[in-house]
Amino acid sequence: MPRKKDTDDINIEMDADESESDDGGNNKRTNNRRQGAGRGGARGRGRGKKPASEDEDEDDEDEAPKGRRGANKKKPVKKRGGRNAKDDDDSEDEAPKKGRKGAANKKKGGKAQDSDDDDSDAGKGKKGKRGGKKGGKDEEDSKGKKGDAKGKDKGKDKDNDNDKKKKKKKDDSSDSDSNTNSEEEESMSEGEMARLMEEVEEKKKLIATIRNKPWRMKRRLVHLKEAQEFVDKFEGALGKGKGRKWYAYKVMMKKKWIKFSRDFENFRTACIPWERKIKEVESHFGSSVASYFIFLRWMYGMNLVLFGFTFGLVVIPEVLMGLPYGSIPRKTVPRVDQHSAQDYSVLMDFQGYCKYSIMFYGYYNNQRTIGLLKFRLPLSYLMVGIGTFGYSLMVVIRTMAKNADVGGGDGDEGEFTFAWKMFTSWDYLIGNSETADNKYASITTSFKESIVDEQENQKDENIHLRRFLRVLANLMIVCSLGGSGYLIYFVVKRSQEFANRDDLSWYEKNELELIMSLLGLVCPPLFETIAELEDYHPRIALKWQLGRIFALFLGNLYTFLFALFDEVNNKLEQEGSIRNASLWAMKEYYANYTLFLNDSSLTPPPMPPADVIRGPCWETAVGIEFVKLTVSDIQVSYLTILIGDFARAVIVRFLNYCWCWDLEAGFPSYGEFDISGNVLGLVFNQGMIWMGAFYAPGLVGINVLRLLSSMYYQCWAVMATNVPHERVFKASKSNNFYMGLLLLILFLSLLPVVYTIMTLPPSFDCGPFSGKPKMFDVIMETIDLDLPAFLGTLFSYAANPGLIIPAVLLMVLAIYYLNSVSEAYQNANMELKKKMQMARDEEKNRRNNTDSTNQVMKDLEDLLPRGSLMAPPEPEKPPEPESRLTKTKPGSAGKGVNLQKDVALASPNPNARGPVNRSPGPRGAGPGQGPGRGQGPGPGRGRGRGPPPR
Amino acid sequence: MGNKQTIFTDEQLDAYQDCTFFTRKEILRLHSRYHELAPHLVPMDYTNDPDCKLPLALIVNMPELNENPFRNRIVESFSEDGMGNLSFNEFVDMFSVLSEMAPRELKAIYAFKIYDFNVDNYLCKEDLVKTLNRLTKEELTPEEVVLVCEKAIEEADLDGDNKLSYADFENMITRAPDFLSTFHIRI
């Protein structure tokens, strides 16, 4: 009896479909499916009945609908027909969403439909195959099923999944007709498993990449939900026996891990400070000014880590566990200086109490271990000093590498001048009307320039004048660089003379710092004025400017360093004599001691630590120099902002009411934010920190404070007093340029520090390395005393030149190898690019049906047999981009549907896409699978897959 | 989030995080921005997906978009009805695509949509003229405009149909050095 009904159902269904078959490709699809289903149903009926009855015993949880099954049979089918019709109508106006809706509505109608839709959306062939296979066979059972499915709430996906699951089981049962229920519970054939696993993996991939898909949000959300539910459902079913538990555990851990990493990510982004401040600046001044602040923030982050190292591993242990102030000579202000040690002027020079504080190298004791924890302070001091450089190098290089591959754009200049100008010149970040006006103006000018260039493509007639001007400008800049270098050299020499005198005025004392700051103040504007002569594009001009100021700073820095080294050498000589003197005094004392008291036990002389003769401690002197330089740099830059920008803005703003010309538009006007100067100031300052940090651990702390305050201060200053650049330009990739400068200065500041650590003997009476011939001896000491003996021998072997030379050779070879590999890749890249270009030209020519511009290609084409060149790219190319767009375009959805049909029809032999080797079961429904399967790849291809997930 | 009433359930937030490039905090901020635009229209409680759309005029007035010459197009291309009415989902979608993290391919698709003024899936001359006039505030002479548009099409057109299809556009835009740095809005 039910058999009869079934045939009726199918007929009705087919009629309904056929009557609407003019609706488009979509309908065609469903139609196909129906036919397949019908056939499948017809064939599988004989067998399909049995599993259905078996199910009734098995499916206990489905009690309610079961009774109604027979009675309901007719109704749902009809409903479904109606639904399909409605779906098809829907699909006309909203193509992108159709798939989803269809899936939701027809889920019970058979897996085929459901998975087809998923498939076409996600571009997954696999699912379609499976679904198709099932579809034909399931049709039978699910038709019965539909009765209860319809009875339940549609929206409840739980139920759907339940159904799915059951269907699956039924599949199995019909696969092997003779199987008992208990067996089918357990057994899931290997192929089935693998497919399921694959499917789950695909769903997971979809979840991971869903945000990259150009879909509407609603659709994304729904797909996400479906995929997640699918994964939840079937993940647990994978694996068997013991493996299942392990698999479930793994899956659970993975879920937890994902949750954790997301929370961590949320936390991390919440920790990134000043996002809003920078955004505000960005919207007012465009991305170039903002790039400075982003750089500043990055620097702050890096310095925070350095600060953590230095304070956590050196300063705080010393404060907590080291000897207190006044206990030993190196921690006490000498008697001579004690009366003035608290004077403001002395403290501002970092003498007096400042000099004998944890800020500087000299304060640290050379005890091998301190405190209860036996903290090896000298070792940690050296390690932190080296680690600072190591960490900075790593971070800078990593950031550079990251920036490099973000850059991406590899276009050859001049290929797309106008197109790029048109589509990429507007900076979407701009949110301020003044900046926007400037931007409009600059875009207009740049278009006009390009038009002029285009119109008279021949070279500028003034090329000679321009060249002359550029050479002249460079000459002038070299002159001023040389002049400033000489000035510093002269001042340094003079200050060495002054150092031996006592009657110094304030100016003479601070001459060096003053001159250096003044040069830093005067030269950049001078360079900028000279650069006007050159008439470069502002972005290029910015780089030149940066390079020049960098050269200036570098010259200053190195002159300063050489002067410092002179001083250090003087101090070392001085120290030698003091050391001899104090040793001699010691000996004298002991000799007298033993002579008078006849007691040879060595007690130290009863001298208060303040009176002990001590050496000059050159390390602390160097540290003080760097700290002084840094502090004066901070003062100068803050004062510059206050006077140069703020005072100027105030004057211009308020005097404008009573002035004879327009101050705002005329001469003084408001200042522009000086990107190059500020960036270089920052980079240069960081160089000082790197150099000075070893001799003055407190310097890192000062720098963190400086960066923090300057973030707020400069943000305020730029918003309050500056106007946007007249020619707003983008900061394309200049971030890496800053990084390059930073790397260079890091390297340059590494050299002197490593030189001093490696070659100069540390002072005999101050600092953590006192008493050792070289600073790095502390490592040797640790190896000898703290590590097991065999490690010591191991190290001594490792230090053997016989081992080091091969190691160095190996490294050189590795570098050489990597270098050549990267070169080869580059070549391959170039080759590919050339090929792409060629292919494009070719295509262009073919489409144009005009003469080939590339004569060689044309000749080749003539030589080739007809048609062999034509075939491959043609059919693939056109549908893809368009169809990709139809997904996202509401207005053209109707078109999308048509297109889909075309493609679906055009796709050659859809059946060929399915695999032949499937688990044996559903064979009976064979013919039914064809269309079901074919639909999967067809639309999937036609509708595009969105951009490739990356 | 605990002190206030719940705007989203945790599942919703997770789903949004999966579907966009935003963090939880940013999604909440986006909601508050969306809410600010029309406090009487937008509910604070989004747990049951209220159906609420804001018209183009409101959204275009956000400071982030206010100065943008293409603001109307941006909003229109992200709205489902093409008229510029944005639901919260679409609003989030818009800023997600325009965020810094969105990949080049995704941005290219939407950039194409934005510049496609007449929604015919091609950038034809008419579109380019509109683009150019918005970029320059119509300060170029008509001859210059025509010249620039012709040049741009000539440069980027691969198939010689005198309009840019998406393939042409993508090919051109993916090689532009400034595209990623300029086609983003920080919210």
Number of alpha carbons in the 13 Å side-chain half-sphere of residue A203: 22
Domains of chain B, start order? 10-98 (1.10.238.10), 104-182 (1.10.238.10)
Confidence bin at A299 (pLDDT 50/70/90): very high
The better pLDDT of the pair A50, A314 is held by: A314
How many other CB atoms sit within 10 Å of the CB of residue A180?
A: 10
pLDDT of residue A870: 45
* DSSP symbols for A764-804: SSSSTTTTSSSTTHHHHHHHHHTS-HHHHHHHHHHTSHHHH
Instruction: Give the nearest chain A residue to B113 (CA atoms).
Output: A889
Q: In this complex, is the C-beta atom of A273 within 8 Å of any C-beta atom belonging to chain B?
A: no
Q: Which of A126-135, A354-363, A856-865, B99-108 has the lowest mean pLDDT?
A: A126-135
- A144-154 pLDDT, tens digit each: 344 443 434 44
Could you say which of B82, B98, B186 has the minimum Cβ distance to residue A891?
B82
Q: In this complex, is the C-beta atom of A572 within 8 Å of any C-beta atom belonging to chain B?
A: no
Residue A831 burial by CB count (10 A; 0-12/13-18/19+): exposed, middle or buried?
exposed
- Give phi and psi for A524, each to the nearest 5: -55, -45
- A377-425 pLDDT, tens digit each: 889 999 999 999 999 999 999 988 887 765 444 445 556 778 888 888 8
Residue A370, strand partner residues: A375
Confidence bin at A100 (pLDDT 50/70/90): very low
Q: How far apart are the first and last CA of chain B?
A: 20
> Which residues in chain B are closer than 8 Å to A426, comparing Cβ atoms?
68-70, 135, 182
- Give phi and psi for B69, each to the nearest 5: -65, -20
Q: In this complex, is the C-beta atom of B29 within 8 Å of any C-beta atom belonging to chain A?
A: no
> Which residues in chain B are closer than 8 Å to A844, comparing Cβ atoms?
157-160
Q: Are B19 and A417 in contact (CB < 8 Å)?
A: no
Q: Tokens for A335?
A: 């008697």
Q: How many residues does chain A have?
A: 950
The whole-model pTM stands at 0.64
Instruction: Give the nearest chain B residue to A850 (CA atoms).
Output: B160
Is residue A645's pLDDT more than 80? yes
H/E/C letters for each residue in chain B? CCCCCCCCCHHHHHHHHHHCCCCHHHHHHHHHHHHHHCCCCCCCCCCCCCCCEECHHHHHCCHHHHCCCCHHHHHHHHCCCCCCCEEHHHHHHHHHHCCCCCCHHHHHHHHHHHHCCCCCCCECHHHHHHHHHHHHCCCCCHHHHHHHHHHHHHHHCCCCCCCECHHHHHHHHCCCCCHHHHCCCCC
> Which residues in chain A are closer than 8 Å to B159, comparing Cβ atoms?
843-844, 847
Mutate to test the interface with A, among B105, B164, B182 (most CBs of A within 10 A): B182
Confidence bin at B25 (pLDDT 50/70/90): confident
Distance from CA of B167 to the nearest CA of A (A): 6
The better pLDDT of the pair A776, A245 is held by: A776
pLDDT of residue A703: 94
The better pLDDT of the pair A79, A309 is held by: A309
Is residue A228's pLDDT more than 70? yes
Q: In this complex, is the C-beta atom of B68 within 8 Å of any C-beta atom belonging to chain A?
A: yes
Distance from CA of B69 to the nearest CA of A (A): 9
> Which residues in chain A are closer than 8 Å to B8, comparing Cβ atoms?
none
Q: How far apart are the first and last CA of chain A?
A: 55
Q: In this complex, is the C-beta atom of A428 within 8 Å of any C-beta atom belonging to chain B?
A: yes
How many A-B residue pairs are in contact by the CB < 8 A criterion? Answer: 231
Q: In this complex, is the C-beta atom of A709 within 8 Å of any C-beta atom belonging to chain B?
A: no
Could you say which of B63, B119, B167 has the minimum Cβ distance to residue A891?
B119
pLDDT of residue A30: 40
Instruction: Give the nearest chain B residue to A434 (CA atoms).
Output: B67
pLDDT of residue A731: 52
pLDDT of residue A916: 43
Average confidence score pLDDT of chain A:
69
Whether A411 and A420 have beta carbons less than 8 Å apart is answered as: yes
The residue whose two tokens read 């469903």 is A30
Q: Are A217 and B19 in contact (CB < 8 Å)?
A: yes
- Give phi and psi for B100, each to the nearest 5: -65, -25
Q: In this complex, is the C-beta atom of B129 within 8 Å of any C-beta atom belonging to chain A?
A: no
Maximum average pLDDT range among A522-526, A937-941, B106-110? B106-110
Residue percentage of chain A with pLDDT more than 70: 62
Nearest to B164 by CA among A799, A646, A418: A418
- Torsion, Cα A647 A650 A653 A658, to 10 degrees, reads -90
Q: Are B185 and A265 in contact (CB < 8 Å)?
A: no
Could you say which of B15, B132, B160 has the minimum Cβ distance to residue A225?
B15
Instruction: Give the nearest chain A residue to B92 (CA atoms).
Output: A217
pLDDT of residue A816: 95
Q: In this complex, is the C-beta atom of A220 within 8 Å of any C-beta atom belonging to chain B?
A: yes
Residues 814..853 of A with a Cβ closer than 8 Å to B: which?
840, 843-844, 847-848
Q: Tokens for A632?
A: 């004066």
Q: Tokens for A165?
A: 């699951």
**A120 Cβ neighbours under 8 A, 6+ residues apart:** A99, A935, A936, A938, A939, A940, A942, A943
- A750-786 pLDDT, tens digit each: 988 888 888 888 888 888 888 888 888 888 888 888 7
Q: Which of A32-46, A582-596, A716-730 has the lowest mean pLDDT?
A: A32-46
Nearest to A517 by CA among A688, A344, A692: A688
> Which residues in chain A are closer than 8 Å to B115, comparing Cβ atoms?
423
Residue B123, strand partner residues: B164
Amino acid at A720: A
- A150-195 pLDDT, tens digit each: 434 443 444 444 444 444 444 444 444 444 444 444 455 677 777 8
The better pLDDT of the pair A61, B183 is held by: B183
Q: Are A844 and B159 in contact (CB < 8 Å)?
A: yes
Whether A170 and A144 have beta carbons less than 8 Å apart is answered as: no
- Torsion, Cα A274 A280 A285 A288, to 10 degrees, reads 30
pLDDT of residue B176: 78
Is residue A874's pLDDT more than 70? no
Q: Which of A247-256, A503-512, A855-864 has the lowest mean pLDDT?
A: A855-864
